[in-house]
Amino acid sequence: MQNQEIIDIHTHTFPDSIAKQTVCSLEGRSHTHSFSDGTVEGLSSAIKEAGVSLAVVQPVVTNPLKTEKINRAAAEVNEQTDKTHVFSFGGMHPDTPNYKEELRLIQELGLKGFKLHPAYQQVTFDDIRYQRIVGYAEELGLVTLVHGGVDIGIPGEWASPRQTRILYEAVKPKKLIVAHLGGWQLWEEVKDWLADTELLFDTAFTLGDIAYFDDFPKESRVKQLSKQKFAELVRLLGAERVLFGTDSPWAEHKEQVERIESCPLSDEEKALILGGNAKKLLNL
């Protein structure tokens, strides 16, 4: 796997002025440790150390009135991509005013795609508002990345494989990435609902041990996929539909790359996952 160009399609950063407090808040909500400081500089250093070629930031819009501000800030991040190797998508909210205009702005700013997070946006993914956004994004050729499955810090069914299937049947998207291999902690349902679609998937937060706080009760902890179960799910979905992601700062890049490389998959499958699929999708 030497000379492999590695692209992390799923990372998170926050403005320098609020990064520390935001990461601390999210650590408390999820009872887990972060692996970097949540800044673009911190992410840039982390991927350089791990030999990752490019990290794609996925902003989460929780206030629909701040959508344009977040997307313009994302474009500013991309002005430094040649130096940082960090590239930002935009963000969208189901209640973003003039959603078509905002999606066109994302296209004009060259952001290539945007993130949706039903749990943080408190709208289920099968909602007509998401269907309209994803549908128009497809018309514009934009990539959509959506959180899939349970959220570690927010209870409720917001983006289950069943809900994703409803949206898929309504829109039939070609550029929709469902994070966490289609549904975090709902991988058996992914097999039933999403395997026969044309959806894309990322590997973020699916492999390895979760970095729980030491005092978090063991009976409340959940496990990730084993390498064998991961490989079986990838084979079922098709390696050509799976993109490498870490969910940084909630996972460490070097460890995640090593886990993918040590999975019982062929070198060709690993190359597609670690960078080949993302390079083609993003037209790099």
The answer as to whether 1 is a domain residue is no
CA–CA separation, 5 and 141 (whole Å): 24
Residue 207 belongs to some domain of the structure: yes
Give the angle 160-117-21 at the CA atoms, nearest 5°: 130
Q: Do residues 133 and 94 lie in contact, with contact meaning Cβ atoms separated by under 8 Å? A: yes
Residue-level pLDDT at 3: 63
**Position 248 in a domain:** yes
Give the pLDDT mean for 141-151. Answer: 97
Encoding tokens for residue 13?
Answer: 């950063």
The parent domain of residue 150 ranges over 7-281
Q: Which residues pair with 57 in a beta bridge?
A: 11, 88
The pLDDT tens digits of the residues spanning 3-44 come to 679 999 999 999 999 999 999 999 999 999 999 999 999 999
> CA angle at residue 47 from 227 to 205, to 5 degrees?
35
Q: Is residue 97 assigned to a domain?
A: yes
pLDDT, tens digit, for every residue of 201-234?
Answer: 999 999 999 999 999 999 999 999 999 999 999 9
Does some domain include residue 118? yes
Q: Is 272 exposed, middle or buried, given 0-12, 13-18 or 19+ CB atoms closer than 10 A?
A: buried
Q: Is the pLDDT of residue 1 over 90?
A: no
Output the pTM of the full model. 0.97
CATH of the domain at 83: 3.20.20.140
Average pLDDT, the chain: 96
Instruction: Judge whether 202 and 10 are in contact, CB under 8 Å.
Output: yes
| Residue 2 scores a pLDDT above 70 | no
Distances (CA, A) of 129 to 52, 124, 142: 35, 10, 17
The reply to whether 148 falls in a domain is yes
Mean pLDDT of 74-95: 98
Does the residue 2 lie in any domain?
no
Sign for the pseudo-dihedral over CA of 143, 81, 68, 8: positive
52, two tokens: 């990752």
The tokens 């930002």 sit on which residue?
88
Q: Is residue 52 exposed (0-12), middle (13-18) or buried (19+ Cβ within 10 Å)?
A: buried
Q: Distance between CA 13 and CA 254 in Å, rounded?
A: 18
pLDDT in tens, 157-167: 999 999 999 99
What is the number of structural domains in the chain? 1
pLDDT at 4: 76
Name the DSSP class of 17: T
Flag whether 228 is in a domain.
Answer: yes
Distance of CA 14 to the CA centre of its chain: 15
